[in-house]
């Protein structure tokens, strides 16, 4: 299919800067490779300076008061996944679903939080909010690249009140590459199917009190989908650059971090009819060819730590990010809005045959709007400063670890498109440009003060965490015109309790009030999402064996739904407003475990398990007609999810790993369990896949690896939206090299 509009072809080679960076770092590595140093991996290991973490010490059963999991650098390297959805599946209590199969739009939920774009989960990078606008618009249309992270933390329970503003369910903290305390470099290059090429490289050193790190991540792929009658691909092109500088004195440390990212994603909101998906799950309709998202981020942060005494420290962070998300997307076909097209065809609605013909390119459009594309060109500025006082002291037999923090934050959202829509007519399988719509520029604002206080109190075998958080938020939907305004304050409290039965077993329990702001589109009086969360369980640690079993109950008193094209509200509302969607109860069980099943003769067999059972329902109807009803089911909440990983490791030469990943089928709408509702097109399908990986150490510096994702090429409908069936990628084979020097 050839369009008369301008398109930018994908450049499927890594940028010149990336190649030069990789070549320079490899050149630095060559002497080390040739020398084949005698020191062991342990001697060569680089100790990184303290990072901003949300989990104290996962190996210490007393260090956390709720469900807490850390995916270490070693865990991330086992499968070298570039899709954050695949990574987070290994954490109990976390639900993810593939939309484009490449992780472009992460849909992360924790304990059945809202099913939008991760907008009820607090995502941090090195302890700094990673959302485009944490108070004004939290949808994850931009997400840090998991391929450059060295560790991932997921925290649930009352400790989440120490972080915000979204703490209704949990926190995901992504830890990026840190400045090493001695000269060190790293290069990882991977090549695979679908013209996939990835490069992650960094180099850093610390000399006296000064340290630095330069880093880049580059990626390009054609993607696994094929667009009808088009030479364009359904892949992406990513480049990112990071600079970290540090000064460390006797009692102080100052670190600067600057980053720049530019990405192009040929993605589409238009899925497939079920019939077309079954015939070819890799197909994309030709009308989606013009769809493209260009997004990027420029950001700076400054982190200062001052040890006031040996027991008290003051930690301050200032941050600023500017994020752009320019999405040219299909939003109407022959007068039918995207969100209803494939449903109309599948259910035999009005003009179903004509719509199918238009999708296939065999029929011409007949509606005056023809084929309409929307220019959703949004830009976001987020900035803030926070300071936190941490200290230890004793009152009689009680030991205290106090945390007190304050943050000032401001968001600005801007719609900058010069035309809100582009209009085409399809004639003989070609799109003919007709004209442009009027611009719809606006600017929203949010400002907030946050205060939090927590005290980890230890007494004998007991440990307690009383915690309180206060938020004062003011928002304006559009300062350019009369607009919705809202102001609210929220005080949330929580309590966590640990009891050490012995050196191995810990019993834990917790309760806290969760909260998430309603966004800048909220009208006066909007409360935000509120919940009361309970959990209780046991934690066992004994060397290489660890088990966590935690039951949870989340009672959402004021559930919210952000109305987006990708997450429409009843009546097809997609204007970015926030809809109150009743109350719901969610309960379940999280099981996590790790063990070394065998060790001897230079070999070991490690294993890791993550399983989640979830159930619940809506307990109160929505305030809006057409919304949820009491007794409705939880959408996009699979009853069972699980990951089992098993490896065979040689102490010096090679490692092999296998992973089984299972996600149960689930309802895609809250209405699908109502009496008389046809659920044929309202459910996803269960999916069981296997991944394999293997690595071989050529020397202390050079390591080769290969991986096969979805070994048996299992395909299923994993998501339905914004319009139509979407599925997981097929089999992928990649090979790579890692250099540590």
- Written as six digits, the tokens of 575 are 């204007």
Q: Collapse the DSSP code of 186 into the 3-class scheme (helix H, G, I; strand E, B; otherwise coil) and give the result.
A: strand
731: alpha, beta or left? (left if phi > 0; alpha if psi -120 to 50): beta
Q: Please list, in sequence order, all residues whose beta carbon lies within 8 angstroms of the beta carbon of residue 690, skipping any fewer than 6 positions away.
A: 658, 659, 660, 661, 710, 711, 712
Spatial separation of the C-alpha atoms in residues 535 and 553, rounded to whole Å? 6
Cα separation of 588 and 95, whole Å?
Answer: 13
Q: Assess contact for 161 and 454: CB atoms under 8 A.
A: yes
Per-residue pLDDT at 23:
38
pLDDT at residue 40 is higher than 80: no
Q: Which residue has the higher pLDDT, 302 or 722?
A: 302
CA 714, 703, 217, 11 torsion: positive or negative?
negative
Digit-coded pLDDT (tens) for 482-516: 789 999 999 999 999 999 999 999 999 999 999 99
* Partners of 658 in beta bridges: 646, 692
139 confidence band (pLDDT: 50, 70, 90): confident
Residue from 219, 318, 252, 251 nearest 11 by CA: 219
**CA Rg value for the chain:** 26
Interatomic CA distance for residues 464 and 497, integer angstroms: 5
The answer to whether 602 and 651 have CB atoms below 8 angstroms apart is yes
CA distance 685 to 508: 35
pLDDT of residue 483: 80
Structure-block tokens of residue 416: 């900058």
Report helix, strand or coil for 79: helix
The C-alpha atoms of residue 178 and residue 596 are separated, in whole angstroms, by 29
d(CA 173, CA 127): 6
For residue 733, the Cα-to-chain-centroid distance in whole angstroms is: 24
- What average pLDDT does this structure show over 237-258? 97
Q: Tens digits of per-residue pLDDT, 622-675? A: 887 888 999 999 999 999 999 999 999 998 889 999 999 999 999 999 999 999
Q: Rounded distance, CA 315 to CA 252, Å?
A: 10
Distance between CA atoms of residues 598 and 222, nearest Å? 41
The string of pLDDT tens digits covering residues 358-371 is: 999 999 999 999 99
* Per-residue pLDDT at 420: 94
Q: Given its phi and psi angles, is residue 130 left (phi above 0), alpha (psi -120 to 50 degrees) or beta?
A: alpha
Rounded to the nearest angstrom, the gap between the alpha carbon of residue 237 and the centroid of all alpha carbons in its chain is 19
CATH topology of domain 16-416+452-740: Maltoporin; Chain A (2.40.170)
pLDDT at 693: 98
Which has the minimum average pLDDT: 54-58, 318-322, 442-446? 54-58
The pLDDT tens digits for 595-631 are 999 999 999 999 999 999 999 999 999 887 888 999 9
Residue 63: per-residue pLDDT: 79
| Structural tokens at position 730 | 């097929």
pLDDT single digits (tens) 422-457: 999 999 999 999 999 999 889 999 999 999 999 999
Q: How many helices (H) and strands (E) does the chain have?
A: 7, 38
Q: What does the domain layout of the chain look like in residue ranges?
A: 16-416+452-740
The Cα-based distances of 157 to 407, 658, 741 in angstroms read 21, 31, 40
Least confident of 84-88, 192-196, 368-372, 624-628: 624-628
Tally of residues, the chain = 741
Better pLDDT: 350 or 573: 350
Q: What is the pLDDT of residue 283?
A: 98
Strand partners, 489: 472
Cα–Cα distance measured from residue 71 to residue 153, given in angstroms and rounded to the nearest whole number: 6
Question: How far apart (Å, rounded) are the C-alpha atoms in residues 485 and 475?
Answer: 6
Task: Please check whether residue 188 is in contact with residue 208, taking contact to mean a CB–CB distance below 8 angstroms.
Answer: no
* Separation of alpha carbons 265 and 10, rounded Å: 9
Q: CA-CA distance, 463 to 459, in Å (whole number)?
A: 6
């Amino acid at each position: 299919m050839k369009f008369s509009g301008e398109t930018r072809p994908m450049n499927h080679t890594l940028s010149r800067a990336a190649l030069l960076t990789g070549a320079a770092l490899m050149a630095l590595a060559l002497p080390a490779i040739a020398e084949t140093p005698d020191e062991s991996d342990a001697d060569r290991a680089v100790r990184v300076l303290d990072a901003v973490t949300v989990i104290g010490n996962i190996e210490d059963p007393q260090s956390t008061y709720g469900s807490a999991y850390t995916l270490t650098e070693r865990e991330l390297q086992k499968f070298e996944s570039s899709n954050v959805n695949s990574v987070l599946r290994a954490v109990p209590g976390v639900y993810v679903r593939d939309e484009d199969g490449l992780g472009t739009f992460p849909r992360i939920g924790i304990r059945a939080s809202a099913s939008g774009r991760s907008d009820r989960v607090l995502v941090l990078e090195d302890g700094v909010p990673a959302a485009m606008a944490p108070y004004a618009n939290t949808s994850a249309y931009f997400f840090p690249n998991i391929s450059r992270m060295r560790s991932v933390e997921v925290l649930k329970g009352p400790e989440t009140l120490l972080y915000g503003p979204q703490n209704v369910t949990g926190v995901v903290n992504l830890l990026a590459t840190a400045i090493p305390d001695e000269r060190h470099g790293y290069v990882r290059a991977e090549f695979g199917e679908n013209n996939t090429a990835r490069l992650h490289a960094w180099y850093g050193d610390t000399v006296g009190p000064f340290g630095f790190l330069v880093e880049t991540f580059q990626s390009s792929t054609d993607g696994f989908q094929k667009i009808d009658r088009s030479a364009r691909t359904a892949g992406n092109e990513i480049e990112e650059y990071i600079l970290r500088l540090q000064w460390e004195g006797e009692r102080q440390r100052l670190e600067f971090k600057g980053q720049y990212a530019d990405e192009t994603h040929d993605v589409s909101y238009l899925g497939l009819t079920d019939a077309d998906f079954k015939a070819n799950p890799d197909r994309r309709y030709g009308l989606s060819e013009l769809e493209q998202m260009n997004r990027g981020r420029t950001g700076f942060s400054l982190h200062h730590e001052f040890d006031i005494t040996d027991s008290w420290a003051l930690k301050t962070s200032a941050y600023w990010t500017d994020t752009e998300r320019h999405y040219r997307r299909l939003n109407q076909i022959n007068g039918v809005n995207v969100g209803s097209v494939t449903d109309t065809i599948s259910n035999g609605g009005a003009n179903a045959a004509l719509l199918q013909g238009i999708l296939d390119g065999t029929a011409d459009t007949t509606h005056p709007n023809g084929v309409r594309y929307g220019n959703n060109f949004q830009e976001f500025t987020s900035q803030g400063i926070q300071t936190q006082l941490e200290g230890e002291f004793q009152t009689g037999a009680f030991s205290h670890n106090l945390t007190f923090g304050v943050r000032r934050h401001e968001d600005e959202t801007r719609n900058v498109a010069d035309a809100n829509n582009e209009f085409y007519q399809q004639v003989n399988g070609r799109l003919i440009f007709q004209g442009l719509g009027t611009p719809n520029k606006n600017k929203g604002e949010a400002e907030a003060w946050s205060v939090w206080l927590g005290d980890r109190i230890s007494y004998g075998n007991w440990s307690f965490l009383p915690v309180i958080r206060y938020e004062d938020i003011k928002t304006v939907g559009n300062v350019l015109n009369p607009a919705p305004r809202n102001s609210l304050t929220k005080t949330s409290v929580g309590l966590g309790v640990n009891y050490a039965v012995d050196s191995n077993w810990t019993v834990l329990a917790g309760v806290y009030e969760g909260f998430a702001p309603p966004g800048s589109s909220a009208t006066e009086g909007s409360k935000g999402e509120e919940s009361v969360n309970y959990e209780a369980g046991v934690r066992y640690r004994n060397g290489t064996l660890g088990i966590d079993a935690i039951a949870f109950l989340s009672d959402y008193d004021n559930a919210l739904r952000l109305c987006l094209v990708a997450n429409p509200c009843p009546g097809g509302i997609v204007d970015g407003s926030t809809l109150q969607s009743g109350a719901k109860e969610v309960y379940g069980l999280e099981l996590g475990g790790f063990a070394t099943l065998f060790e001897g003769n230079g070999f070991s067999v490690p294993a890791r398990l993550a399983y989640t059972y979830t159930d619940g329902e809506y307990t109160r109807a929505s305030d809006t007609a057409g919304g949820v009803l009491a007794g409705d089911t939880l959408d996009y909440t699979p009853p069972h999810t699980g990951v089992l990983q098993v490896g065979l490791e040689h102490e010096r030469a090679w490692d092999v790993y296998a992973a089984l990943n299972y996600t149960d089928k689930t309802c895609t709408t809250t209405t699908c369990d109502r009496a008389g509702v046809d659920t044929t097109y309202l459910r996803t399908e269960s999916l069981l896949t296997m991944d394999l990986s293997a690595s071989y150490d050529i020397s202390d510096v050079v390591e080769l690896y290969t991986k096969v994702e979805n070994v048996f090429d299992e395909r299923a409908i994993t998501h339905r939206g914004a319009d139509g069936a979407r599925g997981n990628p097929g089999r992928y084979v990649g090979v790579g090299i890692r250099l540590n020097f």
